[in-house]
Amino acid sequence: MVLEIKNISKNFGGISALTDVTFSVNEGEIFGLIGPNGAGKTTMFNMITNLFPPTSGEITFSGDTITGIKPHLITEKGICRTFQNIRLFPQMTSLENVMVGGHSRIKSGVLSSVLRTKEQRNEEGRLQETAKELLELVGLTDEIETAAENLAYGQQRRLEIARALASNPKLLLLDEPAAGMNETETASLFGLIKKIQARGITVLIIEHDMPLVMKLCDRIMVLNFGKKLAEGTPAEIQNNEAVIEAYLGSEEDEENA
C-alpha cells in the first residue's frame, strides 16, 4: 500500500473535525473519500499534506512516516494535490502555470538560474517539454499561451491537475475536481483521471458527484461527522444501510422530499 492513515484525529479547540480515522490506499488504485459537507474530508487532505498537523495518529507514505513534516518535503516524496477553490496564477499562461508545478523537481540552484548556466537551460527546456506533454494529456494543447484567467472553468480545473502532475507525484489528491462542471466536462474528467491511473499514479479523490465516484473509484470510504462510517467497493457502499441513511438518502427520504 502507498498511503496509511492510522487512528487520525484532529481537534480545533473543542471541536472534533476527525476522530480516530483509519484507512489505507493501495498503490495504483483510485480511492474515493466521500461524505456530507463538514464530514472532515478536506481536513484529511490538509493533514496528509501537512497544511496543519493531526492532533493524534500517524500518516505513512510508501512506508515512511510523514506526520508533521514540512509540506515541500511531502511534495518531494511524491504527494501533490489540487484544491476545492482553484489556485492558479491567473495572469500566467497555461504553460507557465504547469512549469511552476515542475520547479520542485529542478536541481539547479539560485546561482545557476541567475547565471543561466547550460545545465539550468537544459533543465528548463526539459521542464517546458514535460509541461507541453501534460497540457496535451489534459486536453489544453490549443491553450498553451492562454492566460489562466481567460480559460473556461472546466479548463482551469484541468490545468490545475496538469500543474499538480508536473511535480511527478506517486499519489495525487484531487479535492472535488468535478465541482461546477457540466455533464460533458465531467465525462472528460472521468477519462482524464483514468489516464492518470494508467500512468501508474495512485489517486485519492474527494467528490460529491456520486455517479462519477461510483463509476470511477476502485474503493470508497465514507466519513460522517468526522468518523469513518464505511469502507468498501462502490457496490458495497451503495448497498450499505448506514451509508444510505446517513449520506446517499433512503427511499423514504426521497418520497418525502
Domains and CATH numbers, the chain: 1-78+169-257 (3.40.50.300), 88-166 (no CATH)
pLDDT, position 111: 41
Q: Are 21 and 7 in contact (CB under 8 A)?
A: yes
Q: Are 64 and 3 in contact (CB under 8 A)?
A: no
253 CB-near residues (< 8 Å, 6+ apart) = none
Torsion of CA 177, 182, 183, 189, to 10 degrees: -30
Going by their DSSP bridges, the two strands 64-65 and 3-12 should be labelled as unpaired
| CA dist 146 → 143, 159, 171, 178, 212 (Å) | 5, 11, 28, 22, 29
Query: How far is residue 110's CA from residue 145's CA, in Å, rounded to a whole number?
Result: 26
Residue 98 three-state SS: helix
pLDDT, position 118: 67
Sign of CA dihedral 50, 53, 58, 64: positive
Q: Please work out, in degrees rounded to the nearest 5, the angle formed at the alpha carbon of residue 217 by the alpha carbons of 182 and 70.
A: 95
Q: Are 99 and 127 in contact (CB under 8 A)?
A: yes
Tell me the backbone φ, ψ of residue 7, rounded to 5 degrees.
50, 45
Region of residue 226 (phi > 0: left; psi between -120 and 50: alpha; otherwise: beta):
left
Tens-digit pLDDT profile for the chain (257 aa)? 999 999 999 999 889 999 999 999 999 999 999 998 889 999 999 999 999 999 999 999 999 999 989 998 999 999 999 988 888 999 999 999 999 988 655 555 544 554 566 666 677 788 899 999 999 999 999 999 999 999 999 999 999 999 999 999 999 999 999 998 999 999 999 999 999 999 999 999 999 999 999 999 999 999 999 999 999 999 999 999 999 887 655 444 444 43
Q: Which residue has the cell 418525502?
A: 256
Q: Are 35 and 243 in contact (CB under 8 A)?
A: no
Query: How far is residue 209's CA from residue 206's CA, in Å, rounded to a whole number?
Result: 9
Kindly report whether the global pTM for this prediction surpasses the value 0.85: yes
